[in-house]
Amino acid sequence: MADLKPVKGTHDLLPETMRAHRHVTEIARATAERYGYDFMATPVFEFTEVFKRTLGDTSDIVTKEMYTFETKGGDQITLRPENTAGVARAFISEGLAQKAPVKYFYAGPMFRHERPQKGRLRQFHQFGIELIGVPDPQADIEVIACGAAVLEALQLEGRVVLEINTLGDAESRTAYRSALVDYFEAHRDALSDDSRNRLARNPLRILDSKDESDRRLVADAPVFSDFLNGESKAFFETVCSGLDALEVEYRHNPRLVRGLDYYCHTAFEFTTDALGAQGTVMAGGRYDGLIGQMGGAETPGVGWAAGVERCAMLCAPPPAPQRPIAVVPVGAEAEARALTLAETLRNSGLRVEMGYGGNIKRRMRHANKINARTAVLLGEDELTRGVVTVRDLDSGEQREIAFNSLAAALDDHR
């Protein structure tokens, strides 16, 4: 028999953890909706080609981290490692270009075969937004402002820092890539094996290397800002001016890049030093080349994604759930009446539980076990008189209340 434990890198979301996740996701959704983003969902798995096209054949995600399998019909399927590709695929396959611009919020599980550690799991959860169809810097400003508003609503504004950079347009990127290749070619022997492999195909990814010798070379590498043309500089200046106008604080990080060619102009991350090595809480950028690369019409886009687990680890614990009301019937007739009484209370918005059997002593023990605030006792005498006995389980005080007045009398329990 298999070891009956969760698979390595996954865990059960028991109620306390699930409340923290829901707290993060629901605040993010409510905030995003105020900015005009509609909640949508894509399948948890896609054809593998969706991610190979978007993440690059040489990326670590594709070569090392994706969960890919063959279906009984012979299709190559991959559990989604991120959700932007799925949203872009939906934009194409659902014919949404005619509705552009479109604004979506999503939330759900993602999957990557990584070494599990604090804040990094093999099944993890993200929420994010995508704004597709707007080429102007105002879209970047809005997307970043929405991200900042989510983190502020989660009371994390003092625990994260917004880092921002520009990747320029295609012309600027080509000039920078050429300078970067020349620089690293001159230091090829000092590069790690992975970075030497990336040099020909994707040199910008060397800037993300965690290898110590690579990082020493990166410290002296050319910076993107020296290769920006006038249009790219103006775009970035507009974004920064917009953030200044909205009083969104940021720090320019000239080393912040994205390795894939469909990224351009704005790249940004909200980071923290409170989670050890996993310091990125939310990351995003502009991806004007993505949908065209996937086979759709050339369409601009910008968005971000955030880690639910990481946000939950930074947040204060969410409010405790509403303490339940325990309905405690005594006798067969009272049991039948208590069933309808409990449903009436639930329909009025109250959280109600009934014991599943036993004498009154056992049922009261159950009420204490579930941390009920109040017990509603109903026996033959109460049934005859059309009342219940309501006992405050904190103070021990009791009072009698008529059936038809009970929901109103418990109004403060909502």
pLDDT for the residue 205: 81
Q: Are strands 325-329 and 301-307 parallel, antiparallel or unpaired?
A: unpaired
Please, where in the chain does CATH 3.30.930.10 lie? 15-169+229-314
pLDDT tens, position by position, 354-384: 877 788 889 999 999 999 999 999 999 999 9
Residue 88 clears pLDDT 50, i.e. is over it? yes
The pair phi, psi for residue 355, each rounded to 5°, is -65, 155
**pLDDT-based confidence at 241, cuts 50/70/90?**
very high
Residue 2, pLDDT > 60, answer no
DSSP state letter for 291: H
DSSP annotation string for 299-322: --EEEEEEEHHHHHHHSPPPPPPP
Q: Is the pLDDT of residue 44 over 90?
A: yes
Mean pLDDT across the stretch 200-224? 86
Most distant pair of Cα atoms in the chain: their distance: 94
Say what the pTM is: 0.89
Count how many residues are written for the chain.
414
Question: Taking residues 223-252, what's their average pLDDT?
Answer: 96
Which pair of structure tokens corresponds to residue 365? 């023990």
Distance of alpha carbon 65 from its chain centroid, rounded? Answer: 19
Domain with residues 15-169+229-314, CATH architecture: 2-Layer Sandwich (3.30)
Residue 409 has pLDDT above 50, yes or no: yes
**Span 325-413 CATH architecture:** 3-Layer(aba) Sandwich (3.40)
Backbone angles phi, psi at 35, to 5 degrees: -90, 5
Q: pLDDT tens, 270-314? A: 999 988 776 899 999 999 999 999 999 999 999 999 999 999 999
Q: Report residue 57's pLDDT band, with 50, 70 and 90 as the boundaries.
A: low
- pLDDT over threshold 90, residue 391: yes
**pLDDT tens readout for residues 136-194:** 999 999 999 999 999 999 999 889 999 999 999 989 988 998 999 999 999 998 999 88
Euclidean distance between the first and the last CA atom of the chain, given in angstroms as a whole number: 46
> Is the pLDDT confidence value at 31 over 90?
yes
Looking at the chain, the domain(s) classified CATH 3.40.50.800 span 325-413
Percent of the chain at pLDDT > 90 equals 73
pLDDT at 327 over 60: yes
Average pLDDT of the chain to the nearest whole number:
91
371 vs 314: CA distance, rounded Å: 27
Query: Under 8 Å CB-to-CB from 120, ≥6 apart: which residues?
Result: 114, 278
Residue 1: pLDDT band (50, 70, 90) is very low
Q: pLDDT tens across 3-17, in order? A: 789 999 999 999 999
